[in-house]
């Protein structure tokens, strides 16, 4: 398969049954634009359909970022009607999360911010490098999480910490993320990929149908009424994109200056 923004390797580094998917826009800190989304959907569908591949790992290229969020430059040009009519962010859940029944792990190798944090939380679990940083900084752009952050982060780490993260936009270190149960394990950055591939190899060696069943069960404990929460979240996100502060927040980011807020 020929992708522009991601790399896909089956039986990665000789690990039988493990597909490695790498977000590959390092200059933009692997920001998630619509090409990435289309390609990730295709890559996950290919993984799901290939009986020889039994666990996947998603990581980011470069030393700095897993993904620094949805692509602000792309979003800054869209109107609220575009976000609403396209049900913007919906395919992350409907195509990638729901249709991938086989297990996959996020290997978070640096910044996982906004949509990057949300993408990591869509994985069955997260293994983080010791320099990883998690955050939902959307509030600083005049918006709010739009692909699961307010729902999955709250379920993962509880209301108080999730609320603080969303309201301040601050970043959480790998160590804090492990203490808060956001990640399964933290490993030194140099070991992240090898370690995650090894864990994925263990999963790939399990009876494949039992792996799907175990995943389905743990998810059902986590997901009751998550769908309602996610739809509500997207609607509010889509409405916020109509605000003056959204236009200002994104313009300020691109122009590398502080935003001036109107409160509307
Ligand atoms: C587009 C991005 C980007 C993003 C970084 N870049 N994040 N481009 N979308 N989310 C680009 C920068 O513009 C820059 O491009 C290059 O990547 C390197 O980033 P720098 O900012 O120069 O790096 P650094 O100073 O090390 O800072 C790293 C950072 C910062 C702290 C991660 O980049 C940052 O704050 N990024 C935005 C994080 C964020 O707000 N994420 C949430 C997005 S909103 P150039 O061309 O200048 O070299 C979201 C969901 C919903 O995810 C939002 C709805 C509106």
Ligand 1 first shell, C-beta below 6 A:
28-29, 31, 68-73, 75, 111, 113-115, 137-138, 141, 143, 146
How much is the mean pLDDT over the chain? Answer: 94
- Please give the ipTM for the structure prediction: 0.97
Q: What is the DSSP letter of 140?
A: G
Look up the CATH number of the domain holding residue 76: 3.90.226.10
Give the per-residue pLDDT at 187.
Answer: 98
Question: Catalytic annotation on 43?
Answer: no
Residue 14 lies in a domain: yes
Residue 1 lies in a domain: no
Residue 201 lies in a domain: no
Residue 246 lies in a domain: yes
Residue 246: Cβ within 10 Å count? 21
Contacts of 107 (CB under 8 A, 6+ apart): 57, 58, 59, 66, 127, 128, 129, 192, 193, 196
Which whole number is the average pLDDT over 39-61? 97
Q: What are 223-264's pLDDT values in tens digits?
A: 777 777 788 788 888 888 998 989 999 999 999 999 998 878
Query: Alpha-carbon distance 234 to 131, whole Å?
Result: 30
Whether the Cβ atoms of residue 188 and residue 132 lie closer than 8 Å to each other? no
Ligand 1: residue whose CA is nearest its atom 38: 68
Whether the Cβ atoms of residue 21 and residue 8 lie closer than 8 Å to each other? yes
Residue 200 lies in a domain: no
Residue 261 lies in a domain: no
Give the per-residue pLDDT at 115.
Answer: 97
The structure's pTM equals 0.92
Provide the number of structural domains found in the chain: 1
The answer on pLDDT for 50 being more than 80 is: yes
Contacts of 201 (CB under 8 A, 6+ apart): 15, 16, 17, 18, 55
Q: Which of 23, 35, 60, 69 to mutate to test the pocket of ligand 1 (most atoms within 8 A of CB)?
A: 69
Q: Which of 27, 29, 32, 117 to mutate to test the pocket of ligand 1 (most atoms within 8 A of CB)?
A: 29
Ligand 1: residue whose CA is nearest its atom 7: 68
Which whole number is the average pLDDT over 138-161? 96
Q: What are 82-137's pLDDT values in tens digits?
A: 999 989 999 998 899 999 999 999 999 999 999 999 999 999 999 999 999 999 99
Domain that holds residue 126: 6-191+207-254
Residue 125 lies in a domain: yes
């Amino acid at each position: 398969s020929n992708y522009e923004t991601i790399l896909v390797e089956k039986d990665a580094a000789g690990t039988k049954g493990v597909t490695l998917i790498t977000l590959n826009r390092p200059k933009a800190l692997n920001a998630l634009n619509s090409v990435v989304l289309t390609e990730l959907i295709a890559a996950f569908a290919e993984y799901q359909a290939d009986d020889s591949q039994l666990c996947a790992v998603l990581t980011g290229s470069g030393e700095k970022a897993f993904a620094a969020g949805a692509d602000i430059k792309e979003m800054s040009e869209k109107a609220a009607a575009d976000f609403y009519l396209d049900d913007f962010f919906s395919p992350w859940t409907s195509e990638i999360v729901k249709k991938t029944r086989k297990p996959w792990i996020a290997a978070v190798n640096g910044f996982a911010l906004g949509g990057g944090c949300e993408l990591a939380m869509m994985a069955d679990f997260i293994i983080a490098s010791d320099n990883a940083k998690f955050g939902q900084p959307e509030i600083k752009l005049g918006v709010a999480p739009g692909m699961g952050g307010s729902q999955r982060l709250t379920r993962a780490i509880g209301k108080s910490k999730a609320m603080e993260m969303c309201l301040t936009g601050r970043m959480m270190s790998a160590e804090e993320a492990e203490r808060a149960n956001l990640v399964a394990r933290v490993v030194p950055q140099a070991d992240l990929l090898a370690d995650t591939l090894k864990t994925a190899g263990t999963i790939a060696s399990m009876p494949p149908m039992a792996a799907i069943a175990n995943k389905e069960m743990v998810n059902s404990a986590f997901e009751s009424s998550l769908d309602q929460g996610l739809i509500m979240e997207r609607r509010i996100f889509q409405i916020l994109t109509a605000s003056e502060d959204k236009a200002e927040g994104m313009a300020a980011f691109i122009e590398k200056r502080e935003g001036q807020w109107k409160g509307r």
